[in-house]
């Protein structure tokens, strides 16, 4: 993710910091969408609602710099939600592994598999977004394409992790 974001920032240049401060971003459209449904497919469709509103409701939001700023802010929100879901799932896995050890079962441990899955997902996400960015040939759409990819895949993983423990 850092590599993808570094490329996006490099493409935007120093002007993005000044213009990004002028944009009014609110995560409320995404939160409202998420609150309206428990269905995973419908929740996935919520990803990007706040960035879209940011791009539409701000002068300059439709520019490459504006789009990138709006997308980046929503990516950060989803990344926080993903980390919270992962932390909850990790705690459940560790508790389950401890309970299994207490009873002396031969059940495979969940915690190491969860950690490995998440590490491999990060590699998948970064490689997928690098591929999507490469299709822009270094053009002005490269940054927004990479951030849109990060947004989509991070939201998907956050929603997956929220429900991963036996459908919780």
- Which pLDDT does position 11 carry in this prediction? 45
Residue 27 sits at φ, ψ, to 5 deg, of -80, -5
Q: Name the band, by pLDDT with cuts 50, 70 and 90, for residue 10.
A: very low
Give tens-digit pLDDT for 33-54.
999 999 999 999 999 999 999 9
Q: What percent of the chain has pLDDT over 70?
A: 86
For the chain, state the CA radius of gyration: 18
* Helix 64-103 × helix 2-12 angle, to 10°: 170
Question: At 111, is the secondary structure helix, strand, or coil?
Answer: helix
Give tens-digit pLDDT for 142-168.
999 999 999 999 999 999 999 987 555
- The full set of domain ranges for the chain reads 2-163
Where residue 48 falls (left for φ over 0; alpha for ψ -120 to 50; beta otherwise) is left
Residues 6+ apart with CB under 8 A from 23: 54, 58, 60, 61, 66, 69, 70
């Amino acid at each position: 993710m850092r590599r993808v974001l570094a490329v996006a920032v490099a493409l935007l240049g120093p002007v993005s910091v000044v213009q990004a401060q002028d944009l009014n971003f609110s995560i409320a459209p995404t939160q409202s969408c998420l609150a309206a449904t428990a269905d995973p497919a419908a929740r996935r469709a919520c990803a990007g609602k706040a960035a879209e509103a940011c791009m539409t409701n701000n002068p300059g939001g439709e520019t490459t710099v504006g789009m990138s700023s709006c997308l980046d802010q929503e990516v950060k929100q989803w990344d926080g939600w993903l980390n919270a879901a992962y932390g909850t799932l990790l705690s459940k896995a560790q508790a389950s592994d401890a309970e299994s050890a207490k009873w002396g079962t031969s059940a495979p441990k969940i915690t190491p598999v969860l950690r490995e899955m998440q590490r491999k997902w990060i590699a998948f996400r970064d490689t997928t977004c690098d591929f999507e960015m490469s299709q822009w040939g270094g053009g002005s759409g490269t940054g927004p394409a990479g951030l849109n990819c990060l947004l989509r895949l991070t939201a998907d993983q956050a929603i997956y992790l929220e429900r991963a423990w036996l459908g919780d």
